[in-house]
Structure 1
Amino acid sequence: MQRLPSDPFTSPLWHFVAVLGINGETGQLRPAHHFTGILAGLIYTARAVVAEAALPSQDRAAMADLPERLAAIRKAWLCKSSYAPMGYVLNLLLYGKKIAFETGSRLAVVWNRDGTLLYFQGRPLAMETIRQLIASMTADAEDLLWDGLLFRPRKAEAEAEAGSSSGRRKGLGLLEREGRFLIPLATIRDDLTQTQRGQSFLHTNGLLGKEKEML
């Protein structure tokens, strides 16, 4: 651990904090409402490391003065008023929180230029990952409906085929042979010119007679 009474950049950790403040994609400084979250995570990790160093887990049960030891190490290395790297980081965190509070409303969702990444509050989310998540949730919902509610367990062969994205279409044919009928949503069209009472595109959805299969 270091004491930094004058120049904080004599600490490698402070150099690391400065680099974290730069957005690698844009080359610009991170805004306060993004950077404060990074600083908070860094401080949390530093507190855990320092606490483990001061109060080792294997020796903690035999220590009688745990609060006093922790208070001493906290005052020396983890407080804002200490001339330690974490003191400078805490000062920067409080300064960033003040700026973020006074900045006002901001965009929470931003797209990158090619549309493959979505940034939610500064955190990147790949669109391919979101698509896979939706496909997985849809498959889980189908299994819950057929296996749990309608008592139509899928066979092992169909499960293996339908488990991968490449074999999804092959698995659908096997599932149909097991009694899992499909509803092609893309073929359902609502006729907005239909004004007759009692008529709805839901009546021509291809489900007529399917209730017998479910029973």
Structure 2
Amino acid sequence: MADEQVSLASLLLIVVLGGLIIRYLFFPGAGAAAGQTRGPRDAQSAARAREAAVERIQQMFPQVDRRTILWDLQHTGGNIMATTDRILAGRLATPPVTFQPPPPPPSPASSAAAAQSAAAASKAPSKPAEPDLITRYNLQSKINSSSSSSGIDEAAVGAKGKAWSSNRDERQAALQRRRDDMILAARRKMEAKLAAEKGSSS
């Protein structure tokens, strides 16, 4: 009885394997045709998803170039969170010279926007200048009050030591304080650099 079951199982296995071999040897066109019809759509949707991921990461980290983001996304399987964590940890790998990502596909909206901006530029050559960050965020009073002090104020240092608050308003206020401190620190560095250049030239 056991011999009959083994022979029946082996016979069934031979029939299944034989059918698969015949299908792939003599009818390869059916699978290839299906893959060709799905291929362009899959490639386009993958390209769109890849560009959307790159755009999202570049909105968060504009200092990281597109090529490096694409290299890391390729290694993380398109996982935006993993790439973001690597950027925050400073573990983002530099892509090799041989890695040449495809150029971003031009979208109809961007080409229309480019045409409109070109038309607007030709109509109005003199465009009003963007306000600087001090004017934009109303930091003139902080410049005047912190001109005597050097470095970041104690409130910002205390905010760094505290844990992340669960209150949304406190988090927003802390982030705005940090933004203001970064802008003021950058301004102080630029003033010091300009003063050093002026002193060395005179």
TM-score normalised according to structure 1 size: 0.23
**Greater fraction strand:** 1
TM-score normalised according to structure 2 size: 0.25
**Greater fraction helix:** 2
